[in-house]
Amino acid sequence: MTYGSEGWATLRKHEQKLHTAEMKMLRWAGGVTRLDKVRNEYVRGSFKVAPIAEKVKEGRLRWYGHVMRRDDSHPVKTMLDINSTQRPRGRGRPPATWWYTVERDLKTQNIPLLTTQDRLAWRKRTRRPDPK
């Protein structure tokens, strides 16, 4: 389900659809139906898996850190620099972009940009392991 999710600009509705599909799969694998009235937290806890939205965020930040450690002349890094420049806004709500999503992820997890250069520190700050 998360193939290629490093490049997604996820919205709340996308995360909700991923969560719904994940819970359907977990319930099916556990043999639990909605009629059994078992809460999602209990189903997820029995499989000991992290929420899929967190795993998508982890993959996106891992890829971002990988790109930021590349040379400045690397094509992907130059494209990120081009896309991060400010353009004049039109009317209405600005579209959700990958760059905006990464900035939001960094802000919610309180991660400074300079951490990307230290691979071990970046991995510690961005990794979301499955619960024990």
pLDDT per residue as tens digits for the range 43-74: 988 888 889 988 999 999 999 998 888 888 88
* pTM for the structure as a whole: 0.81
- Whole-angstrom Cα distance, residue 122 to residue 111? 9
CB-CB neighbours of 76 under 10 Å: 12
Alpha helices by DSSP H, 2-118: 12-30, 40-47, 52-68, 75-83, 98-109
Q: Which amino acid is at 86?
A: Q
At 47, list the tokens.
């499989």
**Cα dihedral 33, 36, 37, 42 in deg (nearest 10):** -70
Distances (CA, A) of 41 to 13, 47, 51: 20, 10, 10
**At residue 28, does pLDDT exceed 70?**
yes
